[in-house]
Structure 1
Amino acid sequence: MDAREKAFHCDFCDADFPHKGSLRRHKMIHTGEKPLQCDLCSADYTTKTGLEYHVTTHKGEKPFHCDLCDSAFRNKSDINSHMITHTGEKPFKCELCDAAFRNKSEIDIHMRTHTGEKPFQCGLCNTAFARKTSLEHHVMIHTGEKPFQCDFCDAAFTRKGDLNYHMRTHTGEKPFQCDFCDAAFIRKGDLNYHMRTHTGEKPHKCDLCDAAFARKTGLEHHVMTHTGEKPFQCDFCDAAFTRKGDFNYHMRTHTGEKPFQCDLCAAAFVRRQQLKNHMRTHTGEKPFQCDICIAAFSSKKSLDRHLNIHTR
């Protein structure tokens, strides 16, 4: 494609476009302009198709029905994406790694993990994002907006997914079930990570050594052992940490805070895992089973101590 085919250049980034209208729509990403207003609510949009799609949410129209389940959708692209959940097809393959995706938009976003591109810039600070939705959620940090309110308590969230996850802490629902054991999870991501304990898969590999990890966060924390970076600094002493969770736990040694409270007695704990272990003293649950004898324990630490008997 020669230069004449992309003659319109963005003043905010390196993007080029073949038509003036395409450039104008693109610039709205940077300016935040949304000239098309919904007549039924306060929502506004940059494109006519975006507004038209939104209007169907008011009408409740879902004319596209799946032939394999009861799902229905507002537009053809949504049902096409849904059908892939039945077939398992992932036709869009990354040329730089083994990742594959169900639709083009997913692979476009994924490619930014390789290029480092973050085209969505916050107008209130210098933060930039690879995804438009990430920018929209970030802006709520500045505005304080939390539109998704829990019906059972005062909790409120910027993301609907976070509200759905939170609601399960009230209902006890764990819809994501492991195929290999009895474990069940509130989040699909938690199930995906758990499955790797069965498969042994560790897709996140360190570029500086042979270490590999099941979770991306595990790799990120590991890399800091090479760089020496400890971004979480204590305000009360010289301690610094690579993980935010370790930092939060440390801060409680200064504040004395024990946020994890037992519902059945007065016990309270610094760590969530300590509360989980404590609850087993009430329920009698002993999920950690010895592979050599019939002994079972309420905590992994107790099982590890027990195993020393056999190894000796």
Structure 2
Amino acid sequence: MEKPWECEDCGKGFRSPSLLEIHWRSHTGERPFTCPVCGKGFTISSQLKTHQRVHTDERPFKCPDCGKCFKSSGELRRHKLVHSDERPFTSSVCGKEFTCSANLLSHQLVHSDERAFKCSDCEKSFKTKIDLLRHQRVHTGERLFTCSMCGKGFTQSSQLTTHLLIHTSKRPFKCSNCEKSFKSRNSLMRHQSFHTGERPFTCSVCGKGFTQSCNLTTHQVVHTNKKPFKCSDCEKSFKSRNQLMMHQRTHTGERPFTCSECGKRFTRSSSLTAHQVVHSDKRPYKCSDCEKSFKTKMELMIHQRIHTGERPFICCVCGKRFTQSSNLTVHQLVHTNKRPFKCSDCEKSFKIRNHLMMHQRTHTGERPFTCSVCGKGFSDPSNRLKHQQVHM
């Protein structure tokens, strides 16, 4: 089709003078259509009309497949791709596919080290302006997106969308390799990497691979000494907000994750998942150096350090080395006089939670560790081991 109306600045052609006038505003910066609520300006009236729905929450465009409503036809069009397998935009670097070009553009920054957008409140820098804006909400405490079911607030709309699935039992995304199903496409994609073994995100310092870019970002903090997240109840500081949140549960006593088999409660979901293996006899992870087998991959990795002699966790005070980070954490209390775990029945206090739990059995009379030969009970496993030598 003929486009006789040509832009003097860039040479682009248009079918009518009105379209040329709208385009011309991209060069002049003119935005004649202004929102009366927030003052934001737009080059065309239809953009203003779409924007005003932000203030009214009007969502006239409804998805015929799931009933979800949207503020613009473009949002509905992009959403419809969720219900199909169509992902027309592919990354030339890693082959990952996306439903819209904007998501592809955002993803491509993963393959670049440039972080041009810097936070004025801390030392962090980001690859996109939108990432910086989201991060700044950490400092302001702003949570624009609120769940209508439980009132929980979120810094991003995508977090709210994911959260809303908690209030439903639907798991529409099914794995083709096993029987598991998931509430979101991202969760399914993350799960599928366990089948493929793919770890496309690699640490430039140590070479460790990860299934998600966010896991890589969290890991990279390991290679620095920065711990910007401080606990308001004690002097401890942490490398990530999640670590701080989990730590704070030691002060509040909150244990939101409950085992459906035995009722035991945990401060984090990963601890519950690890615990649930206790109720199964399966030990699929076998050591290649000896005959031992383990219930989790992590247990196998820790065990293999016995064969390799690797002790990667070093005490900064005395230089003693450990095979597990948890052993180092317990050891570091040797260099301090703190005893934060106090018994509610007497005046004794302890450096670690396990010692407090063992002590409390002297008050309750609980003896959960039983000798398999004579049935005698003990309050801690070490005493049982000493006793069992009697039968040898």
Whether TM exceeds 0.5 here: the answer is: yes
Aligned mates of 1:191, 1:7 — CA distance in 2: 37
After TM superposition, give the deviation of residue 244 of structure 1 in Å.
1.9
Q: Which moved more, 1:19-28 or 1:127-136?
A: 19-28
Question: Structure 1 pair 203/91, CA: closer, same or farther in 2 (3 Å)?
Answer: farther
Aligned mates of 2:206, 2:166 — CA distance in 1: 38
Q: Which residue of 1 aligns with 2:126?
A: 45
Question: Structure 1 pair 210/84, CA: closer, same or farther in 2 (3 Å)?
Answer: farther
Question: Structure 1 pair 212/82, CA: closer, same or farther in 2 (3 Å)?
Answer: farther
Residues 228-254 of structure 1, C-alpha deviation per residue, up to 9 Å, x if partnerless? 65534999xxxxxxx9249959xx8xx
After TM superposition, give the deviation of residue 127 of structure 1 in Å.
3.9
Q: Which residue of 2 aligns with 1:60?
A: 142
Q: Pick from 244, 249, 274: which aligns with 2:323?
A: 244
Aligned mates of 2:101, 2:160 — CA distance in 1: 32
1:283 is the counterpart of 2:363: yes
After TM superposition, give the deviation of residue 124 of structure 1 in Å.
4.4
After TM superposition, give the deviation of residue 297 of structure 1 in Å.
4.2
Q: Which residue of 2 aligns with 1:238?
A: none
Task: Map residues 269-308 of structure 1 onto 2, 5 A cutoff.
Answer: 273=354, 275-276=355-356, 278-280=358-360, 283-288=363-368, 297-300=378-381
Residues 263-295 of structure 1, C-alpha deviation per residue, up to 9 Å, x if partnerless? 656998xx975x3565236534415287xxx98
Q: Which of structures 1 and 2 has the larger relative contact order (alpha carbons within 8 angstroms, sep 6+)?
A: 1
**Could you tell me which amino acid in structure 2 is paired with residue 280 of structure 1?**
Q
Aligned identity (percent) is 25
Question: Structure 1 pair 212/296, CA: closer, same or farther in 2 (3 Å)?
Answer: closer
Question: Structure 1 pair 110/60, CA: closer, same or farther in 2 (3 Å)?
Answer: same
Question: Structure 1 pair 138/307, CA: closer, same or farther in 2 (3 Å)?
Answer: closer
Task: Map residues 1-312 of structure 1 onto 2, 5 A cutoff.
Answer: 9-10=92-93, 14-15=94-95, 25-37=106-118, 44-51=125-132, 53-54=134-135, 58=140, 60-67=142-149, 69-181=150-262, 183-197=264-278, 199-200=279-280, 202=282, 204=284, 206=286, 213-220=294-301, 224=304, 229-232=308-311, 244-245=323-324, 273=354, 275-276=355-356, 278-280=358-360, 283-288=363-368, 297-300=378-381
Question: Structure 1 pair 120/234, CA: closer, same or farther in 2 (3 Å)?
Answer: closer
Question: Structure 1 pair 196/89, CA: closer, same or farther in 2 (3 Å)?
Answer: farther
Question: Structure 1 pair 203/281, CA: closer, same or farther in 2 (3 Å)?
Answer: closer
Does the 8 A contact of 1:120 with 1:135 survive in 2? yes
Does the 8 A contact of 1:204 with 1:219 survive in 2? no
| Length, aligned pairs only | 285
**Could you tell me which amino acid in structure 1 is paired with residue 195 of structure 2?**
H
Residues 32-78 of structure 1, C-alpha deviation per residue, up to 9 Å, x if partnerless? 213345678765433454345446664825344333x2334455433
Aligned mates of 1:260, 1:203 — CA distance in 2: 40
Aligned mates of 1:218, 1:259 — CA distance in 2: 29
- Where structure 2 has 5 or more consecutive residues not aligned to the other structure, the ranges are 1-87, 315-321
Aligned mates of 1:259, 1:166 — CA distance in 2: 19
Q: Which residue of 2 aligns with 1:239?
A: none
Q: Which moved more, 1:297-306 or 1:279-288?
A: 297-306
Q: Which moved more, 1:125-134 or 1:142-151?
A: 125-134
Paired residue secondary structure (1:191): helix
Aligned mates of 1:188, 1:47 — CA distance in 2: 31
CA RMSD after TM alignment: 5.1
After TM superposition, give the deviation of residue 149 of structure 1 in Å.
0.7
Aligned mates of 1:56, 1:234 — CA distance in 2: 34
After TM superposition, give the deviation of residue 126 of structure 1 in Å.
3.7
After TM superposition, give the deviation of residue 145 of structure 1 in Å.
1.4
After TM superposition, give the deviation of residue 135 of structure 1 in Å.
2.3
- Normalised by the length of structure 1, the TM-score is 0.63
Question: Structure 1 pair 6/210, CA: closer, same or farther in 2 (3 Å)?
Answer: farther
